[in-house]
Amino acid sequence: MFKYHCRNFVKISMNKWYKQIFQMDFGPIEWRPKFATKQGENALCAPTPFLAIKEEEMMKNMNKMMELMKQWPNVDLRPHFKAHKSVDIAKQQIKLGAVGICCQTLTEAESAVYGGSIEDVFISNEVIGVGKVKRVVQLALKSKISICVDNEENIKDLSQLAKESNANLDLVIEVNVGQDRCGIKPGADVVPLAKLVESLPNVHFKGIQAYHGWNQHVRSAAERKERTNTVAGLAQKTVECLQSANIKCPYITGGGTGTFPYEAGTGLFTEIQPGSYVFMDADYNRNLNEKETFYSGFVQSLFIYTTVQSITGDERAVVDSGMKAASLDSGPPLVAGKEDSVIYHSGGDEHGILRPNDGFKVGQVIQLIPGHCDPTVNLHDVYYLIDGNEKVKAILPVNARDAGV
Amino acid sequence: MFKYHCRNFVKISMNKWYKQIFQMDFGPIEWRPKFATKQGENALCAPTPFLAIKEEEMMKNMNKMMELMKQWPNVDLRPHFKAHKSVDIAKQQIKLGAVGICCQTLTEAESAVYGGSIEDVFISNEVIGVGKVKRVVQLALKSKISICVDNEENIKDLSQLAKESNANLDLVIEVNVGQDRCGIKPGADVVPLAKLVESLPNVHFKGIQAYHGWNQHVRSAAERKERTNTVAGLAQKTVECLQSANIKCPYITGGGTGTFPYEAGTGLFTEIQPGSYVFMDADYNRNLNEKETFYSGFVQSLFIYTTVQSITGDERAVVDSGMKAASLDSGPPLVAGKEDSVIYHSGGDEHGILRPNDGFKVGQVIQLIPGHCDPTVNLHDVYYLIDGNEKVKAILPVNARDAGV
């Protein structure tokens, strides 16, 4: 499905890269033989820890999503780039029918537009300050850009700088539907903000974002559905306020991997923005379906390959993936195939401690299921895309690996 | 103190970099104007979130450490590179009197040796597998390399591959002094392993590592001291076993920022390996001194600069630093200057939620004290080194930013 041609390499000069960034000579030459596995070689030859995507499983997830979307012909799929940060994967999603992508950071959007020529990018977050707003405007000269707002001054900045560059931006007012993060209060507060947008040049009021992140991780399907109904009620109330003020709201976006079928099923939402479904993780795998059993809609496609580096007795085995290789924020990774018998305990920045030592040997390479895919991906430079025999089909860069600059 | 010359830049082509790594054309050109602040400019001009080092404070910490070391003339300081991953900072530490550095990953060691020509590097961790052992051996052709071991096969690999390349390695047997991670049982088990090392070509038994990571973060100084005495007792027992077998053990290394004065004071340890003292963090700042009051030996020099991106009411202010910019593993970051009045709550991957909104304004740039410096540093590409007026003196790369490959 993916077409790449990777070859082995020996040395790279980071110096040249830094030189370009800083317009100066940094001196150090770094030698990083990290990606020492060739296309066609077995992934087990690569230095651990690394991220592997099982291509077949990822494609199953992408196809499953398109299959599900057929139930909701009036709802668009705009997958979230923040989960994978990969231009290659985003292009594949669009090829299969996504209308574009969501990005959470400006760097993600820049990777998608400049790195992937993706034509329709929604920045599902507020981007503040003249320096960053200028970068948003630059993007809008190349692709169709929409962006979240919840603040008057920011809206004025976006309009003014877009006007100066003769660019056009679609603005989406974020509504706080219970996550208590960004976004205005649901209801009447939307009207003056939408009117402000409509009154200003080079910006256009596109609609509202009604996303609730915490709901994605509620285990019970019945409760996720009920909470999504609450979200939809708040979104509906906001839309009605706009309608009363004669402002059209043709766009309502929200929903993640945990709740998207409910948003899509309301008849209110026009777009959903799930991201993690391409990979899945231990946290999402704990969500239950309507029968309150394991939700098997999507399969695990992302794994951390790690080496057992120390064993002293049967009590534990130490692996070379610590919190610099696996984010622990939503619970630890699971040991694939031994999810119930072996527990990963934090061993600090560079180590994981598996208890008990269930027959592991020093030097053995094992697979971990990430606890939370998004921040784990952000710890790595590349993915190995592998086939069913663990043969490397391609090496995909994590293009927008970033603190969110 | 640091001499760098940074200039502004406009565009970089990531493509060229990937081309070098993968020996192939990746297609995407990325445009990442992340480091848009010139030397001499105010750091507040830079896009957030970013890491800033207050140079004066960092130098205070480095000088304070050298001052403390005078109490223990027979103990060497070998600071840990894993905390800062910066060749520039490591060189400064060595210039002030450190005997070399510790690294926890091979990539760190490669950055230090190839990127910084650092002459004495101790890899304070087990490095497993022929591919990685070959890289260790390559390092030993350029610098003096010592490395931890706790496994026979690994020792044999190190010897054989060192012999093949005509390199020499100093091996340090890691002893589990209570952390229950890597390392052999304290006591007699060390003897056959040390004998094995001595029997093999191109490897030399240097001594033991007796490091206990968890002890660093025990709040009470009395308890840290008592626990360190336990560690020292186990190390002593191990040394005695070696002596009974007529094996000299001239090197005993251990101790981090939380306990190093106790290891150094035992008369047993010949080296300490603190890392975080150059930066400090919210977690280490919670350690108490002998009077059980705030331990003021080192000052906070590392900060995350973040922008307030959304405010709706007085209940909260949302900043643009989430868990992709600030590691939450040891508790959340603190708001500098408002440590007691405002609490940072996780807002997910890209957001932090400050409660209450203590007079913050959208667009305001504020400083966070990292919860845990090491994994936070690993989320960023560079540091801004700033003076007392927040003027950028240099931009330092985080050379070995890595999952631990």
A26, pLDDT greater than 60: no
Q: Which residues of chain B does A309 touch, with a Cβ-Cβ cutoff of 8 Å?
A: 125-128, 182
Cβ-nearest to B21 among A9, A23, A404: A9
Q: Which residues of chain A does B33 touch, with a Cβ-Cβ cutoff of 8 Å?
A: 135
Mean pLDDT of B302-324: 95
Q: Which residues of chain A does B322 touch, with a Cβ-Cβ cutoff of 8 Å?
A: 404
Q: Which residues of chain A does B9 touch, with a Cβ-Cβ cutoff of 8 Å?
A: 20-23
More confident residue, A28 or B389: B389
Say whether A111 and B28 touch across the interface (CB within 8 A): yes
Say whether A403 and B374 touch across the interface (CB within 8 A): no
Say whether A21 and B35 touch across the interface (CB within 8 A): yes
| pLDDT score for A35 | 47
Interatomic CA distance for residues B28 and B32, integer angstroms: 12
Which of A9, A320, A345 is the best residue to mutate to test the B interface, defined by the most B CB atoms within 10 Å of its own CB? A320
Cβ-nearest to B129 among A23, A185, A363: A363
What beta strand segments (E) does A283-391 contain? 302-311, 317-319, 334-335, 343-346, 352-355, 365-369, 382-386
| Mean pLDDT estimate for chain B | 89
Whether the CB of B59 is below 8 Å from some CB of chain A: the reply is no
A231 is written with which tokens? 């979200």
Residue of A nearest to B353 (CA): A181
Q: Which residue has the tokens 């012999």?
A: B163
List, as own/partner pairs, every contact residues B128-134 make where C-beta atoms lie below 8 angstroms and the sequence separation is at least 24, other chains included.
B128/A307, B128/A308, B128/A309, B128/A320, B128/A362, B128/A363, B128/B154, B129/A47, B129/A307, B129/A363, B130/B157, B130/B161, B131/A36, B131/A45, B131/A47, B132/A47, B132/B106, B133/B157, B133/B158, B133/B161, B134/B161
Size of interface A-B (CB pairs under 8 A): 272
Say whether A21 and B9 touch across the interface (CB within 8 A): yes
Q: Quick: pLDDT tens for A66-107.
A: 999 999 999 999 999 999 999 999 999 999 999 999 999 999
Position A380: which residue type? H
A79-107 as b/e, with b when 16 or more CB fall inside 10 Å?
bbbbbbbbbbbbbbbbebebebbbbbbbb
CATH of A42-54+298-397, one of 2.40.37.20, 3.40.109.10, 3.90.650.10, 1.20.1530.20: 2.40.37.20
Whether the CB of B31 is below 8 Å from some CB of chain A: the reply is yes
Q: Quick: pLDDT tens for A191-214.
A: 999 999 999 999 999 999 999 999
Alpha carbon of A68 to those of A61, A64, A262, A333: distances in Å?
10, 6, 12, 28
Q: Residues of B numbered 69-128 whose beta carbons fall under 8 angstroms of chain A's beta carbons: which are they?
A: 82, 87, 104-107, 110-111, 114-116, 125-128
CATH 3.20.20.10 domain locations along chain A: 56-286
CATH of B14-25+33-54+300-397, one of 1.10.510.10, 3.90.650.10, 2.40.37.20, 3.90.950.10: 2.40.37.20
Whether the CB of A389 is below 8 Å from some CB of chain B: the reply is no
Cβ-nearest to A33 among B5, B14, B135: B135
Mean pLDDT of A314-332: 95
Interatomic CA distance for residues A114 and A325, integer angstroms: 28
Q: Quick: pLDDT tens for B148-184.
A: 999 999 999 999 999 999 999 999 999 999 999 999 9
Q: Which residues of chain B does A329 touch, with a Cβ-Cβ cutoff of 8 Å?
A: 323, 328-329, 346
B65, pLDDT greater than 90: yes
Say whether A309 and B182 touch across the interface (CB within 8 A): yes
Q: Quick: pLDDT tens for B208-253.
A: 999 999 999 999 999 999 999 999 999 999 999 999 999 999 999 9
| pLDDT score for A214 | 95
Kind of pairing, strands B120-123 and B101-103?
parallel
Give the fold, CATH level 3, of B57-286.
TIM Barrel (3.20.20)
Whether the CB of A180 is below 8 Å from some CB of chain B: the reply is yes
Say whether B12 and A21 touch across the interface (CB within 8 A): yes
Mean pLDDT of B4-8: 30
B80, pLDDT greater than 60: yes
- What DSSP string describes A26-70? -------GGG---TTSBGGGSPSSEEEEEHHHHHHHHHHHHHHHT
pLDDT confidence band for B293 (50 / 70 / 90): low
What ipTM describes this predicted complex? Answer: 0.91
pLDDT confidence band for A296 (50 / 70 / 90): low
For B27, other C-beta atoms within 10 Å of its C-beta total 14
Say whether A404 and B135 touch across the interface (CB within 8 A): no
Q: Which residues of chain A does B50 touch, with a Cβ-Cβ cutoff of 8 Å?
A: 403, 405
A156, pLDDT greater than 90: yes
Q: Could you give the dihedral angle defined by the CA atoms of residues A45, A47, A52 and A55, in that order, rounded to the nearest 10 degrees?
A: -30
Q: Quick: pLDDT tens for B224-236.
A: 999 999 999 999 9
CATH 2.40.37.20 domain locations along chain B: 14-25+33-54+300-397
Say whether B129 and A307 touch across the interface (CB within 8 A): yes
Say whether A378 and B380 touch across the interface (CB within 8 A): no
Say whether B34 and A107 touch across the interface (CB within 8 A): yes
Whether the CB of B18 is below 8 Å from some CB of chain A: the reply is yes
| pLDDT score for B404 | 82
pLDDT confidence band for A40 (50 / 70 / 90): confident
Whether the CB of A332 is below 8 Å from some CB of chain B: the reply is no
Cβ-nearest to B18 among A128, A150, A397: A397
Interatomic CA distance for residues A181 and A391, integer angstroms: 43
| pLDDT score for B91 | 96
* Nearest CA among A298, A274, A303 for reference residue A286: A298
Top CATH class of A56-286 equals: alpha beta
Whether the CB of A325 is below 8 Å from some CB of chain B: the reply is yes
Say whether A131 and B36 touch across the interface (CB within 8 A): yes
pLDDT confidence band for A295 (50 / 70 / 90): low
Interatomic CA distance for residues A161 and A138, integer angstroms: 10
Say whether B17 and A16 touch across the interface (CB within 8 A): yes
* Nearest CA among B110, B121, B128 for reference residue B206: B121
CATH 2.40.37.20 domain locations along chain A: 42-54+298-397
Q: Residues of A numbered 264-303 whose beta carbons fall under 8 angstroms of chain B's beta carbons: which are they?
A: none
Interatomic CA distance for residues A72 and A265, integer angstroms: 7
**Distance to chain A for B281, nearest Cα, Å:** 15
